[in-house]
């Protein structure tokens, strides 16, 4: 059964639209913009992040290259959100500079591990990291609308450390490069040469 070539472009359109959103967020960091518009853009980005992979797997066009590209664009997107908060709510960031610095460091540390060990970007899309995206969304909306976040930021920080630590451990467990590794148990299976079952939704 042949797939409509126009349908196969949908996952890529969703993927690269997130890059457009990142650029818009950076631009809006310098101008007065309704907070509701910023929130709408970020919510759209998260929805697109969920559905680009689901649609790609349903259409059988998902590939390791696409998944790594997805991770790269996710990184650009979230750093654009961080840039927005730095520009609009610098006072809050100054009080949390250590925690933010730790999360930024762990992200670059993971990138470095990927290129040193596998010569490419790590792109595991773990279950925990998918939930972290929703927690980050909560934090960003809270900051954008209220200019402050207490519980949202604390949960984002500590949960983020757990997510990043798991990714680092998975990278050390695996002998060769892989994409879409849901968790530690799956990493041990892959290390033993076993295949893991991948579902359409993940």
173 CB-near residues (< 8 Å, 6+ apart): 184, 187, 188, 191
153 CB-near residues (< 8 Å, 6+ apart): 96, 99, 139, 143
Specify which residues 123 forms β-bridges with.
179
Q: How many domains does the chain have?
A: 1
Q: Is residue 199 part of a domain?
A: no
CA distance 202 to 50: 9
Range of the domain at 91: 7-191
Q: What is the pLDDT of residue 1?
A: 47
Chain segment 6-53, per-residue pLDDT in tens: 788 999 999 999 999 999 999 999 999 999 999 999 999 999 999 998
Here the CATH number for the domain that contains residue 107 is 1.20.120
Q: What is the pLDDT of residue 201?
A: 56
Q: Is residue 166 part of a domain?
A: yes
Can you tell me the mean pLDDT for 56-64? 88
């Amino acid at each position: 059964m042949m797939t409509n070539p126009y349908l196969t472009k949908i996952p890529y359109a969703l993927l690269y639209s997130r890059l457009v959103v990142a650029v818009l967020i950076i631009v809006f960091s310098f101008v007065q913009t309704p907070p509701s518009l910023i929130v709408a853009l970020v919510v759209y980005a998260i929805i697109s992040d969920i559905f680009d992979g689901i649609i790609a797997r349903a259409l059988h066009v998902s590939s390791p290259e696409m998944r790594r590209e997805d991770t790269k664009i996710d990184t650009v997107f979230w750093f654009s959100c961080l840039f927005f908060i730095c520009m609009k709510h610098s006072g809050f960031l100054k009080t949390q500079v250590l925690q933010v610095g730790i999360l930024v460091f762990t992200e670059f540390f993971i990138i470095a591990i990927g290129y040193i060990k596998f010569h490419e970007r790590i792109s595991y899309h773990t279950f925990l990291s998918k939930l972290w995206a929703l927690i980050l969304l909560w934090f960003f909306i809270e900051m954008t609308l209220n200019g402050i976040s207490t519980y949202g930021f604390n949960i984002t920080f500590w949960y983020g450390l757990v997510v990043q630590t798991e990714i680092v451990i998975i990278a050390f467990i695996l002998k060769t490069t892989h994409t879409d590794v849901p968790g530690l148990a799956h990493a041990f299976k892959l290390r033993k040469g076993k295949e893991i079952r991948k579902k359409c939704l993940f």
